[in-house]
Amino acid sequence: MIKSRKCQLGIVLLLTCICAPLLGADPNDATIELEFEISSDRPPKSLMRMSLQPPYDSTHCAFLFIRGGWDSQPIKDEDPVLAILSTNAARTMSPTQREFVSTLPFKSIDFGNTIGNHTYFRLYGVGEYDTQKMAKAFIEALANKADKEVQHFLSRKQKYQKEIDKIQKELPEKQKQYEEAKAKYNEIKNTRYFADNPNETYRKAMETVFQMDKTLDTLEIELAGIREKMKAIEQFRRGQEPVRNQTNQVNYRLDEMFVEQMVELRGVEARKKAALKIREREKEFLDIFNQWGNLESEVDKLKNSLRMSENNLRSVEKILDNPVPEMLPPKVFQNKVTIYPVK
């Protein structure tokens, strides 16, 4: 314990920090090895909230100023009790202090006000020693939280950079395939259709395919009929169905009919071959058209993904370059913590 006169001087210095140095001073780096100033007097009213009573079991309160503007929950996105009790400093707390931290609604850390470029906090304990450990555990928890935040954004940065590298490797090949498909499409379109509207070109090709399908159906029917005629003629010629009083004239006529059907067969088969060729030609064009459209969509998607990943990367880099207080190791003003009795 310090003498009363020295304690008063400490209080004056602390209050002076509120109105002068805190407005612009650059504090030293905070460490777990804090310098504690023990007061025998009650804390100044200017540092206490009249509407908030200290926790029932608490005996002391530590006041410390941390650089930056903090909100009412400095340990975000996790259980503050667990964050405090999992620190190295908390492992040296007394069982009473650990019970005090874990069983209370978490009032053992009380958010203060933001003054200048600092925020002050009140940390409660069940004794002078445990209050010091509470302050150390709080600073350690903030440092752990800052490291997690930084690692989170570094992980995101790595993720977005990998996405960018992957897309930049894939995009040129897709772009090349797209340009080749587009050139082939335009070549066929300009040779065969002369239509500027791709949808109109596609429609015409589809109509041709449908027409060829109908033509092929008709030709198949014709071929079936011709083949049956030729089969019947063959049967007559071979005498499988004998005809009474057959003469050379009949045989000659059968030969003539067979030749006629053979010629007709060759003609229909030629038309079928031509229809198939036209149909395959149009289908090939339609495949190229679809390939061109799909590649265009893929290229656009890759470009959009690249743009989004680059924007996300810039956002993360901006955050890392200008981190919020929660991402920085806590810096306590002059590395000093003042402890007051509250009972």
Burial of 343 (0-12, 13-18, 19+ CB in 10 A): exposed
DSSP 265-334: HHHHHHHHHHHHHHHHHHHHHHHHHHHHHHHHHHHHHHHHHHHHHHHHHHHHHHHHHS--GGGS---BGG
pLDDT of 243 above 70: no
pLDDT of 135 above 70: yes
pLDDT of 180 above 70: yes
Residues of each domain in the chain carrying CATH 1.10.287: 162-321
Residues in the chain: 343
Give the pLDDT of residue 31. 46
Distance CA 164, CA 161 (A): 5
Contact at 8 Å (CB) between 326 and 76?
yes
Burial of 221 (0-12, 13-18, 19+ CB in 10 A): exposed
Distance CA 85, CA 255 (A): 108
Give the pLDDT of residue 26. 38
Give percent of the chain with pLDDT exceeding 70. Answer: 78
pLDDT of 281 above 60: yes
Contact at 8 Å (CB) between 265 and 223?
yes
Instruction: List all residues 6 or more positions away from 286 whose beta carbon is below 8 Å from its beta carbon.
Output: 202, 205, 206, 209
Give the pLDDT of residue 195. 63
As a whole number, mean pLDDT of residues 326-339 equals: 88
**Band of the pLDDT at 187, cuts 50, 70, 90?**
confident
Give percent of the chain with pLDDT exceeding 90. Answer: 42
**Band of the pLDDT at 188, cuts 50, 70, 90?**
confident
Q: Quick one: which of 121, 128, 126 has its CA closest to 102? A: 126
Q: Name which of 11-25, 83-97, 139-153, 260-274 the model is least confident about.
A: 11-25
As a whole number, mean pLDDT of residues 156-168 equals: 97
Helices (H), the chain: 4-19, 80-85, 95-103, 128-192, 198-237, 248-321
Q: Quick one: which of 322, 297, 315, 328 has its CA closest to 159? A: 315
Give the pLDDT of residue 196. 67
**Band of the pLDDT at 49, cuts 50, 70, 90?**
low
Sheet strand arrangement including 109-115: 35-38, 336-341, 60-67, 118-125, 109-115
Find the Cα–Cα–Cα–Cα dihedral 182, 187, 189, 192, rounded to 10°: -160
The SS3 assignment for 63 reads: strand
Tell me the pLDDT tens digit for each residue of 299-325. Answer: 999 999 999 999 999 999 999 999 887
Distance CA 343, CA 325 (A): 33
CATH of domain 162-321: 1.10.287
Give the pLDDT of residue 8. 38
As a whole number, mean pLDDT of residues 4-14 equals: 38
Average pLDDT over the chain reads: 81
Give the pLDDT of residue 210. 93
